[in-house]
Amino acid sequence: MLETTFSSRRNFLVLLGCSVMVSGCSTIGAGISVAGAQDHTDEALPLVNRVRAAHGLPSLSARPPARVAAAEQAVRMAKAEQMTHLIGLGDSFATRMKRRDVPLPAAENIASGQTSVEEAVQAWIESERHLKNMLGSFRGVGVAVAQSAAARPYWAMVLSA
């Protein structure tokens, strides 16, 4: 009896430990996770593809490398509490994309303060430069958000070849 109780308690603690570790992560696509980010690619995709269709462009598809790159950028901005493409000395968009195997050419849209994926995508649609990125000759996309310590949402969209 004592051995069974110990085994059950140990199994419970192992499961509890695993759940705590996982709770700080967000799963992106096929088992990919980036701590502190929430993937919104699946919700953003129909919104972006509707705009592309209205311009006679083919649909984009969710791509794991773009999803991870977007999640990482959202987390970077949230930690820095800055909406910016480049954070820190020597930061490079091309290097970040290559590190994550994002097919080039690639582009990145960022936003801050929007409380839903619909608001973030609408802000990008209303911005000439961001809309141009969404209408570019890309095939893949990833969209993610991360919250700063002050609970401000930071959004990133990565578009890829």
Q: Is the pLDDT confidence value at 31 over 50?
A: no
DSSP state of 58: P
What integer pLDDT is reported at residue 32 of this predicted model?
Answer: 58
Q: Prior bond to 153 cis, omega within 30?
A: no
Task: Give 84-140 pLDDT, tens digit per residue.
Answer: 777 767 778 889 899 899 999 999 999 999 999 999 999 999 999 999 999 999 999
Residue linked to tokens 């701590």: 35
As given in the structure block, the two tokens for residue 26 are 């967000």
Sorted by sequence, the CB contacts under 8 Å of residue 52 that are 6+ apart come out as 58, 59, 60, 134, 135
- Residue 109's DSSP bridge partners are 157
Strand, helix or coil for residue 159:
strand
